[in-house]
Chains A and B, each alone.
Chain A
Amino acid sequence: MYRSNVLVCGGTGCTSSNSELIIDKLKEEIAAQGLEKEVNVIRTGCFGLCALGPIMIIYPEGAFYSMVKPEDVPEIVEEHLLKGRIVKRLLYQETVVENSDAIKSLNHTPFYEKQNRVALRNCGVINPEDIDEYIAVDGYQALGKALTEMTPEQVIDVMKKSGLRGRGGAGFPTGLKWSFAAQNQADQKYVCCNADEGDPGAFMDRSILEGDPHAVLEAMTIAGYAIGASQGYIYVRAEYPIAVKRLQIAIDQAKEYGLMGDNIFDSGFNFNIELRLGAGAFVCGEETALMTSIEGKRGEPRPRPPFPALKGLFGKPTILNNVETWANIPQIILKGADWFSSMGTEKSKGTKVFALGGKIEHTGLVEVPMGTTLREIVEEIGGGVPGGHTFKAAQTGGPSGGCIPASQMDVPIDYDNLIAIGSMMGSGGLIVMDDTTCMVDIAKFFLEFTVDESCGKCTPCRVGTRRLLELLNKITSGNGTLEDIDKMEELCEYLKENALCALGQTAPNPVLSTLHYFRDEYIAHVTEKRCPAGACKALTNYHIIEDKCKGCTLCARNCPVGAITGTVKKPHVIDTVKCIKCGACMEKCKFNAIVKR
């Protein structure tokens, strides 16, 4: 019996900042102190507060240590685990109570207080490589309930009533999708999991697979029972090695326990799941392309209809859901449709996981009820924009989504509201931008991504996205005209109407939404040849303000190309022809005498 549990984050973020080494060191130190029978070290999934990794949490005290280094480990073991004295200097600042030895519970810190973790409930709580721990937190109870107490129709009914909508982006009602596949008769049906997370900045699916792989397996098995399928596939990208490894361990353990395989719960129902590794093409996250790829062919989309529920994988009825959608399902079966639909807004039920990134204090994963405003997410949970800058916009939905400007920050976020303001939920990537971000540049960034990832099957996407990027390049290099902006809009509309799959149809969204909310920036680039945010290099020049310059020569000494001239104690001058716009002078200047304009 262990008296203390030490949980160390083993998600990708913390692993890349050395959490493996910390675990090794912990075990070593614990053994050296003779505590190995009293203290259990567990590698968990992601805690969500990735900005402060590597993260360690010690129970029963609930001490949350952040940014732990391997050299801190001996102190933690000796002070905390041996002598019971919490190492205050390593505590997450928000949990420290002034002038007291008590610590604030993590659930009462700004980052976690507003969160409601359903899909992420086990991430950072259990050991994902141990099926017993998953079972200990009611794992596989939902499967047992479905197989022994419910008919397939009842399962689908609960899913429909819950109001769960697909978390991969499009937001299609999950129960409805299942009922279509259940109605179609076939000798074989399939259940697929879309774990080909491709949006830049989104990593919630990876975290769920790394932190709670059994939840996905359990949910897929429930779906198999509901629609009458006996085979499932998880299409996961090979760039997620930790997720792949833990999924395989989970599958092996489930088989060993008889929770996967033949005659599960003595119900006569058989189900197996296999992994398929994707090579990382963005288009393979599109459902028809994903299934084509599982079939062993080149990952290209095909026109719909027929929809996968009728003709999917290998031409058989198939349902395909995203990882986060799956992670919600065992809880819905266990706690009921009413419990789930009590969270969220009228048409978007439950919670949504967002991956916070960009110019924000607390980079990480947050799960909030649908209907939470962007302001709450960015300012309260995310801790706001760092460095004294102001919030300009947030980008949601990745390359298929759009920007939400500061003026729309109080809109409750759900599927329909986001579309109404010109963005989309997408998989939940949320990239925050401040006043130093150029919106034309952002649109260009996403277009570069779609141009790279276009599979080339249909002309509108293959050629259209490239022409669009060329126009954007023309504008950011200072050669654009007002007609170019009109041309871009026309091309965007054409792409939306004519591309084969969602990748091409939504590719213009970043351009359209930035044009809608930040048209003045486009116009400034074109008519004044000026980048208001000072991000487009071709359009900005560095200048020294004469009054502020003290002639300290620091800038001149740091200029790598010798573009700054002047004598000591006299104002200096930048030769804009020689200047390569590296910004080194501005960084060094102690008197704020250098400006970009």
Chain B
Amino acid sequence: MKSLAELQAIRDKARSRVTLREGQDDAIRVLVGMATCGIAAGARPVLTTLVDEVAKRGLQNVMVTQTGCIGICQFEPVVEIVEPGKEKVTYVKMTPEKVTRVVNDHLVNGNVVTEYTIGANSK
């Protein structure tokens, strides 16, 4: 170890491994429906893509977690985004490609991707 910068580089690289363990009460929660219906419809690649994208962009305040079936099995895979103080946004029929866009538009820039939401799909 020759310098503080070198140490900080290791820290930044290792940081993402422990951030999951910090209790975040005000975090944006991203819930992926992972009941049998969700998994069958392809929720697993959706979940892993979400985790990867969130980590890649270094989003500290986002907690990706799973949830059970919310009862709209025909729309699985379902991803819900819960921001403190805002109305819940429900994305349906998600794919890894759609996830990339949701992370970019919604989580990074704060714009809801209306066309993927349940409102746009149930018509």
Chain A residues proximal to chain B, CB less than 8 Å: 1-5, 7, 37-38, 40, 59-62, 82-85, 105-107, 125-126, 132-133, 135-138, 140-141, 144-145, 148, 257-259, 264-266
Contacts and interface: CB of A to CB of B under 8 A. Distances in A.
Contacts of B2: 258, 265-266
B69 to A, nearest CB: 9
B86 interface: no
Interface stretch (B19-27, B90-98, B102-110): B19-27
B63 interface: yes
A542 B35 CA distance: 61
B66 interface: yes
A1 B3 contact: no
A61 to B, nearest CB: 6
Contacts of B16: 1
B120 interface: no
Contacts of B121: none
Which of B13, B15, B16, B39 is most buried by chain A, counting CB atoms within 10 A of its CB? B15
Given A60-B64, A84-B66, A265-B3, A5 B10 contact: no
Interface residues of B, number: 37
A60 B1 contact: no
Given A38-B48, A60-B63, A136 B11 contact: yes
Contact of A61 (B25, B47, B65, B68): B65
A1 B51 contact: yes
12 contacts: A3-B64, A5-B20, A62-B23, A83-B39, A132-B10, A132-B13, A133-B14, A136-B14, A136-B17, A145-B4, A265-B2, A266-B2
Contacts of B3: 148, 265-266
Contacts of A83: 34-36, 39, 66, 68
B67 interface: yes
Given A141-B8, A258-B2, 12 more contacts: A1-B52, A5-B21, A38-B51, A40-B17, A59-B21, A60-B20, A84-B31, A105-B23, A106-B23, A132-B13, A136-B18, A259-B1
B72 interface: no
Nearest to B69: A83
B21 A265 contact: no
Contacts of B4: 141, 144-145, 148, 265
Interface of B: 1-4, 7-8, 10-11, 13-18, 20-21, 23, 25, 31-36, 39, 47-48, 50-52, 55, 63-68
A84 B32 contact: yes
Contacts of B48: 3, 37-38
Contact of A135 (B11, B21, B65): B11
A437 to B, nearest CB: 38
Contacts of A264: 1
A2 to B, nearest CB: 7
B14 A135 contact: yes
Given A1-B55, A38-B48, A83-B68, A138 B11 contact: yes
Contacts of B33: 84
B18 A133 contact: yes
B32 A133 contact: no
Nearest to A136: B14
B7 A141 contact: yes
Contacts of A148: 3-4
Contacts of A136: 11, 14-15, 17-18
A49 to B, nearest CB: 16
A135 B10 contact: yes
Given A83-B66, A85-B68, A133-B14, A107 B34 contact: no
B1 A258 contact: yes
A133 B17 contact: yes
A253 to B, nearest CB: 12
